[in-house]
Amino acid sequence: MSAIRYELDSDQILTLTIDMPGQSANTMNGAFREGLSETVNRVKTDLDAIRGIIVTSAKKTFFAGGDLNELHRVTRAQASEFEAMVNGLKADMRFLETTGKPLVAAINGTALGGGLEIALACHHRVVMDDDSIQLGLPEVTLGLLPGGGGTQRLPRMIGLEAAFPFLMEGKKVTPGAALKAGIVDELAGSPEELLNKARAFIDANPKRQQPWDQKGFKLPGGAPHHPAMAQKLAIAPAMLRQKTKGCYPAPERILSAAVEGAQVDFDNGSLIETRYFTELVTGQVAKNMTSTFWFQLNAIKAGGSRPEGVAGETFRKVGVLGAGMMGAGIAYATASRGIEVILKDVSVENAEKGKSYSEKLLARKVSRGRMSEDQKAAVLSRIRATDSAADLEGCDLVIEAVFEDSDLKARVTREAEPKLVTNGIFASNTSTIPITQLADASARPENFIGLHFFSPVDKMQLVEIIVGARTSDETLARAFDYVQQIGKIPIVVNDSRGFFTSRVFGTFVNEGISMLAEGIHPASIENAGLLAGMPVGPLAISDEVSMTLMQHIRAQSRKDTEAAGGTWRPHPAEAVIDRMVDEFGRKGKAAGAGFYDYPANGKKHLWADLESLFVDSARARNVALQDLKDRILFIQAIETVRCLEEGVLRTVADANIGSIFGIGYAPWTGGAIQFINQYGVRAFTARAHALADQYGERFNPPALLLEKAESNTDFA
Ligand code: NAI
């Protein structure tokens, strides 16, 4: 059975229905290429009998895009073969575009990547008017570029500047927004209307060519060499480099493909595009990004570390204790997904204040046209603000987000547990206290678990599920279901101080501060953090976290270590933190001063005195930026290996996804463990030894890493 159904009717209209056998969605793989090539041969034979062609799909979506499994496997050695294959596919699409007969896309569902590119090759696009449909070219988010003509056709349709957000940021739009942007031509209210409008276009346009195939075609918005456009484009690469810190090759290649392609005819532009596409497909960054964002994220969504054999659960009523920053966010995320929420604080006033946070977020959605007033009211009606524990009666799950205080947490646990349904779950959102210890207050420790959300909850997708020593598999499985029900990404970790994310994050922050202790200029440290791909520099983030909190966490860890008979080995960052807090009273952002100054009406800037206090000018002059960047990426990767080794982490997918979504570990690396794989376990281990010799034993490779290096095997 062919991937494309070929139906030439008595009205001489040919309908090509893409319906790839054995697949739930259409993708651009070998079967599709074969189907397209057969189709082209038949069209060549039948051409005189054809008045026009409609392209549509038999699936729920129109076309899902490239086949990432296939792309992921292409090696550098196969580059020229791959390039020829892509050009062959594009030549077939180009043939249909240039027969002179009208070619119409009847877009019945979501069209992303290669799917939208097929539609762009058509002369006219009609799409179902349904807001659940998405149109866009998300390739850039996987380190790729739209290699099916997208970088050539879209700028020729709507102009370079208007095309950039779609090409370089992977912007996705609804059919209505696509119509406004000029990406589609008509909307249809029903499947019949969709096909009728496509037919009407063919009737009205017996002959058709793309604008770019006509004499005297001018690029909308101005060609690259026009003075106004040239000026904008001249600064674009520098702006991009600043934005991507030079770590992400895709946006730069997309810019090159679009701009270079716009200066030549379409067919040559298409060849340029293929060359850049091949470079990205066979390069390491796209491999890193597809492996985490596609394969590993899908593995987690498909069940990840959820124990098998436990029936799935749908949560109906969830209690949230504490309506502060975290509780308010958790209530919003939960109610937004249709779950009833009891939001409890010490006073109704506090609880209402927490609820008003949801109101603010929802109002913003309404004002941006993303939600109706009715939908907003429905979400708000699901949140009940209260000061009474009695209202928790019948909750399937209670999540506590009260102050970080063990005694208080024990008290609210004892108060809430009796109100839960039989077998209900009690979860703590603690950021530092071991779950096993908190579970001591519980009458049902097997139903006690950690659900560590990140701030701001509405934006941060990750939830770290923490399994205490007595937490049952059943509780874990059900907590996993809750996290998925609210649309977040669950990773599972075993209990340990700092769990996984805070522990690794701490090594990043401490590494940055220890550079200051060595006399390196603070601006170089912040810059190295950004160049390594972290979202914020280590000194700025220390201010956000607050250095008093860091002192507090250290004191706790030290107590634990010594209680267990261990010896505390001070980190070089400690002395700097203590001086900042105890000598200068600069505790961080909330206190108004830290490594940065926070002027009331101006931008924050590094505290000028840091230079005279800490910087060693000889050292600062001779510092190698590569060393600083490596230290930031290595220290976190090494700590992640320790978490795997100690069984804090259960899978490599959890490690990679958790490091990117929870800590902000450079996404171009594909995560902290993928970074090691890609660096090569042996090369990584050798570099770690060198860093340990120079900067301290914290860089010593853990046993698990040495084992991998010895046998030269990747982390699978
Ligand atoms: P917060 O100080 O903003 O809110 C705590 C709330 O708990 C206050 O509204 C307080 O009135 C309320 N509360 C106190 N006693 C209560 C009781 N007996 N019953 C009900 N409510 C009570 O604190 P935040 O930042 O929301 O943190 C809450 C928890 O989440 C802490 O355990 C914290 O460590 C953890 N966490 C914080 C993160 C952050 O970025 N702030 C990130 C992840 C976890």
At 300 the pLDDT is: 93
From the CA of 415, give the closest atom in ligand 1. 18
Residue 176 Cα to ligand 1 midpoint, Å, equals 41
Our answer on whether the CB atom of 325 is closer than 6 Å to any ligand 1 atom is yes
Q: Which of 221-230, 382-391, 610-619 has the lowest mean pLDDT?
A: 221-230
* 462-467 and 448-452 strand pairing: antiparallel
Closest listed residue to residue 119, CA positions, set 280, 47, 109: 109
What average pLDDT does range 247-259 have in this prediction?
92
The average pLDDT across 400-405 equals: 94
Please report how the helices 150-158 and 160-169 are oriented relative to each other, as an axis angle in degrees rounded to 10. 140
Catalogue the E-assigned strands of 19-97: 27-28, 52-57, 65-66
Q: Kindly give the residue spans of alpha helices, DSSP state H, lying in 137-261.
A: 150-158, 160-169, 175-181, 191-204, 227-244, 249-261
**ipTM rounded to 2 decimals:** 0.99
Residue tagged active-site, from 123, 124, 452, 571: 452
Which of residues 620 and 299 earns the better pLDDT score?
299
Share of the chain above pLDDT 90, in %: 88
Whether 242 has a pLDDT exceeding 80, the answer reads no
Residue 440 has pLDDT above 80, yes or no: yes
Nearest CA to ligand 1 atom 42: 454
Whether ligand 1 lies within 6 angstroms of the CB of 430 is answered as: yes
Measure Cα distances from 589 to 141, 165, 520, 547, 613 in Å: 32, 33, 22, 9, 20
Distances, alpha carbon 35 to alpha carbons 3, 20, 26, in Å: 5, 9, 12
What H or E segment, with its residue span, contains residue 73?
helix 68-73
- For residue 245, pLDDT over 80 is answered with no
Three-class secondary structure of residue 224 per DSSP: coil
Single-letter amino acid, residue 370:
R
Q: Give the distance (Å) from ligand 1 centre to CA of residue 416.
A: 16
Q: 546 alpha carbon to ligand 1 midpoint, in Å?
A: 16
> What pLDDT, on a 0 to 100 scale, did the predictor assign at position 241?
79
Site to substitute for ligand 1 among 391, 431, 465, 488, most atoms within 8 A of C-beta = 431
Closest among 544, 335, 551, 327 to 429, alpha carbons compared: 327
Centroid of ligand 1 to alpha carbon of 350 (angstroms):
12
Amino acid at 626: Q
Model confidence band, residue 60 (pLDDT cutoffs 50, 70, 90): very high
Q: What pLDDT band is residue 557 in, cutting at 50, 70 and 90?
A: confident
Give the atom of ligand 1 at the shortest distance from the alpha carbon of 411.
Answer: 18
- Given a cut of 80, whether residue 247 has pLDDT beyond it is no
State residue 234's pLDDT score.
Answer: 83
| Cis, bond preceding 138 (omega within 30 deg of 0) | no
Our answer to whether residue 452 is catalytic in this structure is: yes
Helix (H) and strand (E) counts in the chain: 31, 21
Nearest to 127 by CA among 109, 150, 153: 109
Determine which residue's CA is closest to atom 29 belonging to ligand 1. Answer: 401
Angle at 296 between CA 292 and CA 297, to 5 degrees: 90
Measured between alpha carbons, how far is 712 from 143 in angstroms, rounded to an integer? 27
Mean pLDDT across 627-641: 97
Q: Which of 382, 417, 379, 375 is nearest to 396 (CA)?
A: 417
585 CA distance to ligand 1 middle (Å): 25
Cα–Cα distance for residue pair 510/517, rounded to 1 Å:
10
Instruction: Give the ligand 1 atom nearest the CA of 409.
Output: 18
Mutate to test the pocket of ligand 1, among 402, 453, 544, 663 (most ligand atoms within 8 A of CB): 402
Please give the Cα distance from 626 to 711 (Å, whole number).
28
> What residues pair up with 15 in beta bridges, in sequence order?
7, 54
Q: Is 594 helix (H, G, I), strand (E, B) or coil?
A: coil
For the segment 162-219, what is each residue's pLDDT rounded down to a tens digit? 999 999 999 999 999 999 999 999 999 999 999 999 999 999 999 999 999 999 999 9
Whether the CB of 317 sits within 6 Å of ligand 1 = no
> How far, in Å, from the CA of 262 to the mean position of ligand 1?
55
**Whether the Cβ atoms of residue 404 and residue 433 lie closer than 8 Å to each other:** yes
Task: List Cβ neighbours of 194 (8 Å cut-off, separation of 6 or more).
Answer: 56, 106, 107, 108, 126, 127, 128, 188
Residue 343 CB less than 6 A away from ligand 1: no
> Which has the minimum average pLDDT: 59-63, 244-248, 581-585?
244-248
- What is the per-residue pLDDT for 497? 84
| Residue 58 CB–ligand 1 contact under 6 Å | no
Give the separation between CA 661 and CA 462, rounded to whole angstroms: 6
Which of 320, 326, 541, 544 is the best mutation target for the ligand 1 pocket, counting ligand atoms within 8 Å of the beta carbon and taking the most?
A: 326
Q: Which atom of ligand 1 is closest in space to residue 412's alpha carbon?
A: 18
The span from the CA of 667 to the CA of 324, in Å, is: 30
For residue 709, name the pLDDT band (cuts at 50, 70, 90).
Answer: very high
Nearest CA to ligand 1 atom 9: 324
Looking at residue 314, its pLDDT comes to 97
pLDDT at 716: 85
Find the 255 Cα to ligand 1 centroid distance in Å: 45
Weakest-pLDDT range from 28-37, 260-269, 307-316, 365-374:
365-374
The runs of H, that is alpha helices, within 170-226 are 175-181, 191-204
pLDDT at 392 over 90: yes
pLDDT of 1 above 80 = no
Q: Residue 403: CB within 6 Å of ligand 1?
A: yes
Pairing of strands 340-344, 317-321: parallel
With contact defined as beta carbons under 8 Å apart, do 273 and 261 qualify? yes
- Ligand 1 atom closest to Cα of residue 404: 32
d(CA 614, CA 631): 19
Instruction: State residue 222 phi and psi, 5-degree precision.
Output: 105, 140
Answer yes or no: is the C-beta of 429 below 6 A from any ligand 1 atom: yes
pLDDT confidence of residue 560? 84
CB 345 less than 6 A from any atom of ligand 1: yes
Give buried/exposed letters for 360-371 (b at 16+ CB in 10 A, else e).
ebbeeeeeeeeb
Per-residue pLDDT for 509 more than 80?
A: yes
Rounded distance from Cα 452 to ligand 1 centre (Å): 12
322 Cβ closer than 6 Å to some ligand 1 atom: yes
Among 440, 388, 435, smallest CA distance to 414 is for 440
Angstrom distances, CA of residue 392 to CA of 28, 115, 435, 468, 684:
51, 48, 22, 24, 51
Of all protein residues, the one whose alpha carbon is nearest to atom 44 of ligand 1 is 431
Q: Residue 401 C-alpha to ligand 1 middle, in angstroms?
A: 4
473 burial via Cβ count (<10 Å: 0-12, 13-18, 19+): middle
Residue 360 CA to residue 329 CA, distance in Å, equals 11
Backbone conformation region of residue 436, classed left if phi is above 0, alpha if psi is from -120 to 50, else beta: alpha
Q: Which amino acid is at 50?
A: I
Instruction: Give me the sign of the Cα torsion angle 18, 23, 27, 32.
Output: negative
pLDDT tens-digit map of 129-164: 999 999 999 999 999 999 999 999 999 999 999 999
Residue 412 Cβ inside 6 Å of ligand 1? The answer reads yes
pTM: 0.89
In sequence order, what are the residues at sequence separation of 6 or more whose Cβ sits closer than 8 angstroms to the Cβ of residue 376? 362, 363, 365, 366
Tokens of 127: 């799409």
- Residue 327 near ligand 1, beta carbon < 6 Å: yes
- Beta strands, E only, 67-140: 103-107, 111-112, 124-128, 135-136
Residue 630 pLDDT > 90? yes
Mean pLDDT of the chain: 95
Residues 90-126 have pLDDT tens digits of 999 999 999 999 999 999 999 999 999 999 999 999 9
Q: How far is the CA of 628 from the centre of ligand 1 (A)?
A: 35
Counting ligand 1 atoms within 8 A of each CB, the residue from 350, 403, 553 with the most, and so the one to mutate, is 403
Q: State the amino acid at position 422 in one-letter form.
A: T
Query: Tens digit of pLDDT for each residue in 367-381?
Result: 988 899 999 999 999
| Cα of 400 from ligand 1 centre, angstroms | 8
Helix H, strand E, coil C: the string for 398-454 is EEECCCCCHHHHHHHHHHHHHHCCCCCEEEECCCCCCHHHHHHHCCCHHHEEEEECC
Please classify residue 594 by burial: count the beta carbons closer than 10 Å to its beta carbon, then call 0-12 exposed, 13-18 middle and 19+ buried. buried
Whole-number CA gyration radius for the chain: 28
What length is written for the chain?
Answer: 716
- What is the per-residue burial (b if ≥16 Cβ within 10 Å, else e) of 217-231? eebbbbebeeeebee
Neighbours of 534 (CB within 10 A): 23
Please tell me the predicted confidence (pLDDT) of residue 48: 97
Which domains are delineated in the chain?
4-282 (3.90.226.10), 317-497 (3.40.50.720), 502-647+680-711 (1.10.1040.50)
159 Cβ inside 6 Å of ligand 1: no
Ligand 1 within 6 A of CB of 324: yes
pLDDT given for residue 243 in this prediction: 77
Nearby residues of 265 by Cβ (< 8 Å), 6 or more positions away? none
- Taking the C-alpha atoms of 38, 44, 46 and 50 in order, what is their torsion angle to the nearest 10 degrees? 110
Atom of ligand 1 nearest to the CA of 402: 7
Which numbered atom of ligand 1 lies nearest the CA of 428?
32
pLDDT at position 623 is: 86
Helix (H) or strand (E) holding 302: none
